[in-house]
Amino acid sequence: MPEQAVKLGPRLAAVAAHVPDGAFLGDIGTDHALLPIYLVLRGVIPSAIGTDIRGGPLDAGRRNIARRGLSGRIALRQGDGLAPFRGGEADAVTVAGMGGGLMLEILDPRREALAGARTLILQPQGGESGLRRALLARNWRLAAEELTEEKGRIYTVMRWERGAATDQPGTPSAAAADGGCADAAVRRFPEVWAEYGPLLPAAGGPLFRRVLQAERGRMRRAAAALGSATGAAARERLGELRRRAEIWEEMESWLYPSD
């Protein structure tokens, strides 16, 4: 590997793959600035601004940038989220390795710095379903979503484009376009679509199957822990857990019918 090259793990590599060519990037929580360095070196983007709330990682990031002769193309600023940005400085924003709730706080639509952004590439660490619902309500469209695995853990990577979602599974225009198949699937498994969004179940694949199995296992373990409960609330919760575990199992059988 050339001395200047940067190697990303599968998680950040998946984030990088969704950054549009030629974008002016804002990388939130940039840490050592590996993502913007990687993208600039490969000619994907002309320049980037990285922010982090911690000074130590930014110092290391500046050394990484200087060592590769990129000080004129990548700027690092210390601060919380989008606070160090001015409006219009970034048309694509990446946020990786944070909980979905924190991401929503950072991406508050009232922030002037977000006004010029057309693309969000997010890698949340939990809270994915709430993040999807909130961004859809804020007139962002879920353009792509995938799962990737690193060191035995499965991560979700999402790409959002500005504009209301009108052509995704479960919406009227999508149902009209595909003869109603996607809409029928949403009606059949509304809990699963509400939890995982329209794209991951549609894509399927072995990683999504593992996600379904892991969640079903979690629900069954929780139900087993409540098995001897006698209170009305506990019995109601037990019934709900069992019902959802059955739905998850049915969804798996529907997505992977040959196994």
Task: Tally Cβ neighbours within 10 Å of residue 249.
Answer: 15
Is there a single domain that holds both residue 132 and residue 241?
no
Question: Rounded to 5 degrees, what are φ and ψ at 28?
Answer: -90, 130
Which tokens is 169 given? 């599974």
Is there a single domain that holds both residue 155 and residue 197?
no
Is there a single domain that holds both residue 155 and residue 179?
no
Q: What CATH number has the domain bearing residue 46? A: 3.40.50.150
Bridge partners, residue 180, by sequence: none
Is there a single domain that holds both residue 119 and residue 225?
no
Alpha carbon 160 to its chain's center: 9
**pLDDT (tens digit per residue) in 1-21:** 345 778 999 999 999 999 999
**pLDDT (tens digit per residue) in 71-130:** 999 999 999 999 999 888 999 999 999 999 999 999 988 888 888 899 999 999 999 999
Range of the domain at 90: 10-162
Q: Is residue 2 part of a domain?
A: no
Smallest Cα–Cα separation from 135: which of 113, 156, 154, 109? 109
Is there a single domain that holds both residue 20 and residue 145?
yes
Q: Is residue 149 part of a domain?
A: yes
Is there a single domain that holds both residue 64 and residue 95?
yes
pTM of the full structure: 0.87
Which tokens is 54 given? 């911690």
Domain boundary at 162, 195, 221, which?
162
Which comes out higher in pLDDT, residue 201 or 59?
Answer: 59
**pLDDT (tens digit per residue) in 141-182:** 999 999 999 999 999 999 999 987 655 554 444 544 444 444
Q: What is the pLDDT of residue 256?
A: 87
What is the number of structural domains in the chain?
2
